[in-house]
Every structure is written in structure tokens, then in C-alpha cells.
A and B are shown apart, each in its own frame.
Chain A
Amino acid sequence: MLSELQKNELHRLIVLFIGNDVSVSRSKPHFSSATVEVVERMIEANIDCNQTMKDLIAELISGGKARSRGWLKHALGGASAMIERAELRGYGCQVSAKAKWKTAIIVSTY
């Protein structure tokens, strides 16, 4: 069970990587641990997209204390300031694989 803060941070991370998408936004109330796992995989697959994202992930992992499976779950809830810094620095990634990750994120809510 994710808190509202965790769901919001997760959604902001998703937007940084694949942009704003109405169907993903509508799924936000249903985000779960399964969604966190999908987003963690998405981030790891796209960590090299630009320096801003590299810095963000380095910060998130440092906050989560470890780069082991489940690091994102540990980072969520205390990541707002880090995400905001990345948002202010400019656009995130527009991954080639947006369709895959968008689908995986929404499927995780069913």
C-alpha cells in the first residue's frame, strides 16, 4: 500500500521519463508495489538518457542507501526535493520505449 505522497512522487518520476500521459495519470490512485517495481525497471533501463537523470538516480539511490532490487520503494516518500530539482533543470527523458513502459505501468494497476 503506497501513501499519497509515494504515489505522487512515483507519478512525477514517470513524467520525467516518459512525459505526461493522461491514461497513466488516471491510473495514479491505483499505483501499487507492482507499479514501483515496473518504474524501477524503467529507470534502470533508461538511466543513461541524460545527465540530469543520472544525477537524480544517484541521489535517489543514495537516499535509499543501496542499489539493490527495491531501492525505489525505499526512496519514495522522501524524494520530492530531488525530483523537483530534476524537474527544474529541464525536460527528462522521452524514451523510445515509451509504449512499453506506459503499458507496463498501467497493467500493474490491474
Chain B
Amino acid sequence: MLKKFILAVSVALAAVPVHGEHAESKTTSIFYGRFELKLPTHQLAGAKILSVDGPVIKFSDSVILAGTVATHETLGLPEDFELARYPRYILGLDATDSLPEEVKQALDGALGSFGIGPDAETAEIEHERGVVYSACLFPSCLIFATRPAEPEQLLMLFPEGFSRSEIVGFMGVSDAE
């Protein structure tokens, strides 16, 4: 039941005015589990919004925001695996040497399987609610967000046509943090 709850990705299209009456300053909240992204509402005009394993916004054929909430189950990892470290292994920030062989094999070289080349620029941004990891090689990015308060899930985003700073901005995180 808990897993179902965690996996139940809700899209809340509640327009929230940030600075009052200016349409440009309104944002629309997109929820992946408990992870919230705030997009400028005017950017959603004409976009297609669909659901796959999570909300997907197709702004155009080449500009897409998609993602999912991942769990041990969806990633095929053992329950005792520390999920918050998954992005660190994928991005090569931590060595996988100490992991069981099967897990090690699944993680080594996995960044390439996302279609992100070795030349991608990676970043780790710590903020007050957790950590955002990114690997970007325009037009593709792979973004992870982890939170100590949500140890059983992590956010994975697969944006196309966005810069890293745009995506982390949607997450309410400063690129400079």
C-alpha cells in the first residue's frame, strides 16, 4: 500500500500566483510523488501533457520534460541498497567496488544506457531539502533528486531541450547552491 502510495504520481495543475497579477510570474506545480517542480504557467500554453510513469509535458517535438519517481522495486535493487547513493554510483561520484557483484554490474556504465555520453557535464547541488544531481549534454539531461526525508524514493527526470539551470530552477534550487 505504501509503495502504491509512493508510486502514485499526482499532477496538480494549480496555478499559483507568485507576484500577484502578472501572468508571466504565475507558476504551475507538477508533482512527481512528493517532489514538486514549478513551471512558469505561460510556458505550458499549447503543450501536451500526458502520463507515462509520471507526468510528461511535451512542449514541442524537441522540448520535453519527463520523469518518474524511482524505488528499489522499479530500479531492480535489493531493499538494503541505500537509494540516496544511486545517483552517486550512476554519475561515477562513488566507486561501486564494495557493492555485490550483481548490483555493481547493473550500475557500472549505466549512465551511457540513459543516452548521456561521457562528455556530459555533471553537477551535485546540495540544498536545504536534499541533493540534486545532474548529467547534461545538450539537448539531454539526466537529473536525480534525493531527500533524507524520502529514503525510499528518488526523483529521476529526463528533460530534453532544457539547460540544467532551467530544470533545477523549476525545482526551486539555485544552480549556485
Contacts and interface: CB of A to CB of B under 8 A. Distances in A.
A73 interface: no
Interface stretch (A8-16, A55-63, A77-85, A101-109): A101-109
B130 interface: no
Main secondary structure of the interface of B (DSSP, over half): mixed
B52 A46 contact: no
Contact of B115 (A23, A42, A94): A42
Interface in A69-110: 94-97, 99-104, 106-107, 110
Contact of B52 (A23, A41, A44): A23
A41 B62 CA distance: 14
A4 interface: no
B64 A107 contact: yes
A50 B90 CA distance: 19
Given A94-B76, A96-B106, A110-B58, A103 B52 contact: yes
11 contacts: A34-B61, A45-B112, A49-B113, A97-B115, A99-B68, A100-B142, A103-B52, A104-B66, A104-B158, A107-B58, A110-B50
Interface of A: 23, 34, 41-42, 44-46, 48-49, 94-97, 99-104, 106-107, 110
